[in-house]
Chains A and B, each alone.
Chain A
Amino acid sequence: MLGRAHLKRKAEAMEDKPQFLPANDDEERAEEKNIRKESASKSFRPTRRSFLTQLGVAGITATAAPLLARAPAAPPPVEVPQETPATVPGAVPVVLNINGKDYRLTLDPRTTVLDTLRENLNMFGTKKGCDHGQCGACTVHINGRRVNSCLTFAVMHQGDKITTIEGLAQGGELHPVQAAFIECDGFQCGYCTPGQIMSGAALLKEPVGPADDDVREMMSGNLCRCGAYDNIVAAVQSARKKSSSQS
């Protein structure tokens, strides 16, 4: 049997907490910074990612000890840049609405929505698998429809509403598909899971037949190398039943 710790780890994998600050306006930014400082001073609770990042840095520090003898022993938490510097000629200002917040960015027009989320906004919940629209790990919702965020440039989405796995839960409540994935154990390693869940959540609003095979067909754009397909189908079916009985 899998223990509670296992489930907790899975739940964390499903909702990789972002470590960004919204750039709506300077006041809001300053306010949020203060809140963050306060909470950080009260209790330092590392996320899975910050823990791993520091582990990596610590590892490098240890092997390079003679060279970095004067380096501080515990590096501070990774600071996320507020805005991407315009490093490439032709970079353009872009405002993106992600999970209900506007972000002002300066982007190389080659930057996909996926890379913007991960590299510019430190929202790591959306995963990069194949980067060619073949695996579905990068699935997000744009204006309520599921799309492959690796195959579309961020600059093409000003004025669109982008929802990522980080924005799926509402008011601290998991989305029914997120809850169903935990209930049905719809994953093993968890890497494809955010994409699977974003697909499953969109599927609830699409014309899809009632059978498991209908779900399989409509989830075929999301590959799972662990082969957790049976439980993924069960999770989507469970969420569909619950949402149809509620509506």
Chain B
Amino acid sequence: MMNGPCPFEDRVRRAAERLAESGVAALGGLFDLTSQRLVRFATTITRNQHDAEDAVQASLMRCAARPRLLRDAKRPWPYLLQVVRNEALAAARKQRRWSLAAGLIDLCTRREVDELEQEETHRAVWQALRRLPVAQSEVVVLKIWEGLTFAEIGEVLEISPCTAASRYRYGMEKLERLLGVSPAEARHES
């Protein structure tokens, strides 16, 4: 059962329409709207920021080259996630030399002033996500960060909603185990 489009999806649709109307000149708007979400999603697949950014760049260029595909998609945001996922999987297959599951030095992190004390928690979450199998981490990311239903996740990942739900449950159980360690242990681990 699909929910109605959320405001973010509406904004993506409008950005896609502008891209189709104005061409590359409107790509900046789509980038500003989606890049943060796309990069963090791609990072869970490629396991490093460099390849994730390449995947996002390639996806947005693909959209700029053929903007009608994005505009005419039934739901542009899941479609864009799917494009980024395909690019990220291709990059992950090519670049096996990166195996930075333990560290986060490749990531471009952002710290708000009032979130300094939470940085340790954020780092622990990202490290734990990198330890999950990609099949589980991408479901967790799409479910929690993107707020998609399992049916929508199934569409993006081309799996059944039940499979998405299973992967989510296993992923969350594993995350719970991984994040059960104390902050001191997590610091030592990184």
Partners in one complex: no
Interface residues of chain B, those whose CB is within 8 Å of chain A, are none
Interface residues of chain A, those whose CB is within 8 Å of chain B, are none
